[in-house]
Amino acid sequence: MKIAIGNDHAGVDLKQYIMQNFKEHEFINVGTDSVESCDYPDYIHPVAKAVQERRVDLGIAICGTGIGASIVANKHKGIRAALCTNEFMATMARRHNDANVLVLGARVIGMDLAIHIIEAFVKSEFEGGRHQRRLEKIEKIEKNERLL
Residues designated catalytic: 63, 96
Exposed, middle or buried, 143 (CB in 10 Å: 0-12/13-18/19+)?
exposed
How many angstroms separate the CA atoms of 135 and 137, rounded? 5
- What's the length of the chain? 148
**Going by DSSP bridges, is the β-strand pair 101-105/58-63 parallel, antiparallel, or unpaired?**
parallel
Characterize 26-54 residue by residue with b for buried, 16 or more Cβ atoms within 10 angstroms of its Cβ, and e for exposed.
ebbbbbbeeeeebebbebbbbbbbbbbee
Backbone angles phi, psi at 42, to 5 degrees: -65, -25
How many angstroms separate the CA atoms of 18 and 16, rounded? 5
